[in-house]
Amino acid sequence: MNFGARAPATTLRCRCCSACLTVTPGARAIQCAQCNGVTRVRRRIPPPALPMPSGPMYYPRTRSNKRAVLIGITYAGMRRGGDELMGPINDVKCMRHLLCQKFGFPSDCIIMLTDDQRDPFRSPTKDNIRMAMQWLVQGCRYGDSLVFHFSGMGAQVLDDDGDEVDGYDEAICPLDSFQMGPILDDEINEAIVRPLVDGVRLHAIVDACYSATVLDLPFLCRMSKRGNWEWEDHRPPTGACKGTSGGQAVLISGYSDGKSKYIVLPEAYASVGAMTHSFIKAVECEPRGITYGRLLTSMRAIMRNGGGNCNLQGPDGAPIRKVANFSGVQEPTLTSSEMFHIHREAFDL
């Protein structure tokens, strides 16, 4: 895709392995195809203004009050010396099945971006993901329920504007992350969190390493050492606003340090990611209208015992029992644009 002429690319050294990386104009970070490390691009001169792709012209014009963007990337043949991920495409198919069958999402209001599709506008490139995010929130109004799901690689890079409590920006890695760079949490927040107006709810489910705060939401809820779900204040030290324009944004993801080895459990017919699997299975096995607290507790139990008592049904009715923990998820977490009583508020999409 060509959305306008680009200035000549520059090069820099990977901060992890010192490989020479080609940086496209305007990129804030670049991912190394050799070691998967992410290097921040120093802001010496403001990048030239590049025309933003216009998502809605390529995606469905049908506007339901329930819309979803589902992204699954295996990175087949993209990583030097790295195997493709097992699970992301099945994650997307299972998530679509769940949204349509259990929550009444119209099939024509769900955009799927996976790297096995031939349509160039359905490939999970950086430009296409940006367009899909724009489509998801454009024209949102009171009563809308929006879902953003990503299954693939995550990354972490040193923060350069002082708006991160831990000093790092989190990111998701599109298919062309090694050429165009990852999509940082700052941009994701600006794209699908800030536009949410009063009465609009966004639920994001992200299955990737370093994804616990990838929407840059100000409040994080996770299991404390005392065994209770507790909120933590992650508002930026700079005072930057990371909230919505009146709506509510919730991210369900998982804590991981990016160091866990790829594991599979137990053996069966197809693979899904551990984070996505635990979310879908908890929603399927628990009664509708469960609280967020109960959902997190159920997900945690599924992650820890590797299965539970019921089989996850795939989109074609076949049971899925093989779980690929490619994201290294250790605990489920929840971040939100506002704090709420997780044991009283019911979860619904």
pLDDT tens, position by position, 91-145: 999 999 999 999 999 999 999 999 999 899 999 999 999 999 999 999 999 999 9
* More confident: 122 or 168: 122
Here the tokens at position 162 are 């002082």
64-336 architecture in CATH? 3-Layer(aba) Sandwich (3.40)
Angle at 276 between CA 99 and CA 36, to 5 degrees: 130
Mean pLDDT of the chain: 82
Res 31: pLDDT: 84
How much is the pLDDT for 305? 77
pLDDT band at 81 (very low <50, low <70, confident <90, very high): low
Mean pLDDT of 238-264: 77
pLDDT score for 165: 67
CA 272 to chain centroid, in Å, comes to: 15
Q: Which of 109-113, 123-127, 209-213, 311-315 has the lowest mean pLDDT?
A: 311-315
Instruction: Check residue 261 and report its DSSP letter.
Output: P
Mean pLDDT of all residues in 166-185: 89
**pLDDT of residue 50 exceeding 50:** no
**pLDDT of the residue at 298:** 92
Amino acid identity, residue 68? A
Q: What is the pLDDT of residue 7?
A: 47
Of 50-64, 87-101, 275-289, 320-334, the poorest mean pLDDT is in: 50-64
Residues 6+ apart with CB under 8 A from 52: 3, 130, 134
Q: What is the pLDDT of residue 157?
A: 85
Confidence at residue 30, expressed as pLDDT on a 0 to 100 scale: 82
Please, which residues bridge with residue 158 across strands?
168
pLDDT of residue 310: 42
Using 50, 70 and 90 to split pLDDT, how confident is the model at 259? Answer: low
Q: Which two tokens stand for residue 87?
A: 């699970």
Which pLDDT does position 3 carry in this prediction? 37
pTM of the entire predicted model? 0.84
Does the structure show a pLDDT above 50 at 209?
yes
Domain ranges of the chain: 10-40, 64-336
